[in-house]
Structure 1
Amino acid sequence: MSEGDSVGDSVHGKPSVVYRFFTRLGQIYHSWLDKSTPYTAVQWVVTLGLSFVYMIRVYLLQGWYVVTYALGICHLNLFIAFLSPKVDPSLMEDSDDGPSLPTKQKEEFRPFIRRLPEFKFWHAATKGILVALICTFFEAFNVPVFWPILVMYFIMLF
């Protein structure tokens, strides 16, 4: 590999200013995420607050129904993944008697492992709300639709 071929390298082999900026920004972001991990109640309160701000904004502006519908579908998908087991018991090749308890000392009994852990669920839900909130600042995302149809679609998917 020659100079300048790797990601973020400038012509002289040093990382570019833009690459260093975004790398540092990512490190700061992950540092804040790591610091917020023990405070699950605060995380969910902030997410509910953002959700409330989004709902008030959409209500006052009377629009952005497609964005709201997409946010609802996103949250529904995340919620289903959160409630689903990591391994589908119906696909396991056990006997027809159903699941059994561990029979060896080394086997660990895990009754339920989620496909989507709570932290990732919170993180994805919060990012979704923030993206939807940002979309409400651009008129291009305010697609005129008959919103009761979207409500019926959402109820049917739910």
Structure 2
Amino acid sequence: MEGTGGDGPAMAPFSKWRKDFSVAFQYYLERFTPHTLQRWLGTLVVALIYVLRVYYVRGFYVVSYALGIYLLNLLIGFLSPKIDPELEATDGASLPTKDSDEFKPFIRRLPEFRFWYSITKAFIVAYILTFFSVLDVPVFWPILLCYWIVLFALTTKRQILHMIRYKYIPFDIGKQRYGGNKFSRSGSSPRD
């Protein structure tokens, strides 16, 4: 049995490379975290590349449908509160349901960074899957599209009704921002 124990040294360079890649990848992810607009623009570019690939090969509609269902699931997680008053008995940390309740900030079930990262990963995986002809199942794509639109409409309607019922808005629209002094620092007063 000469082959036993021979795999250890051969795997060491691979595991070192994998660890180095993981550290570098995590470093760049952390560097891109505060740059929200640039991250989403990059994801838009990745999505456009995927759409062009599907359009060019005129196939992989089942992969696109599965991608659409996954993106819908991510969107619902992004729009949902971390502690759902409908599902869990709360210990005081819930969304306010009456005017007399104390204000509690909206905390997402799926944070924005993880939402972005999951969407970007999903488009990259779907793009890679378009290179495997086994996954190009022949289907009548307008039926899949209609079914996805109906599913999207029903799911978002349920989510909007949930938002109305528990009185929360998952976006910062209309949030008051404090930017400091409204007047210039030159010492001029508003009466000048």
- Per the alignment, do residues 33 and 94 of structure 1 end up closer, same or farther by CA in structure 2, a change over 3 Å counting? closer
Aligned residues: 140
* 2:111 counterpart of 1:117: yes
TM-score where L is the length of structure 1: 0.80
Which of 126, 130, 155 is matched with 1:136 structurally? Answer: 130
The residue type equivalent to 1:114 in the other structure is R
TM-score where L is the length of structure 2: 0.66
| Bigger shift: residues 125-134 or 147-156 | 147-156
Q: How far off its partner does 1:94 sit?
A: 7.7
- Per the alignment, do residues 94 and 130 of structure 1 end up closer, same or farther by CA in structure 2, a change over 3 Å counting? closer
- Per the alignment, do residues 24 and 139 of structure 1 end up closer, same or farther by CA in structure 2, a change over 3 Å counting? same
Structure 1 unaligned residues grouped into runs of 5+: 1-8, 102-108
Between the two structures, name the one with larger relative contact order (CA 8 Å, sep ≥ 6).
1
Structure 2 residue aligned with 1:57:
53
RMSD: 2.3
Q: Which runs of 4+ in 1 moved over 3 A?
A: 91-95
CA distance, structure 1, for counterparts of residue 18 and residue 90 of structure 2:
46
Q: How far off its partner does 1:98 sit?
A: 3.6
Q: How far off its partner does 1:156 sit?
A: 2.7
Structure 2 residue aligned with 1:104:
none
CA distance, structure 1, for counterparts of residue 90 and residue 38 of structure 2:
42
Structure 2 unaligned residues grouped into runs of 5+: 1-6, 153-192
Instruction: Among all aligned residue pairs of Structure 1 and Structure 2, give the percentage whose two residues are the same amino acid.
Output: 47
Aligned to 1:79, the other structure's residue is in SS state helix
CA distance, structure 2, for counterparts of residue 93 and residue 123 of structure 1:
29
Structure 2 residue aligned with 1:106:
none
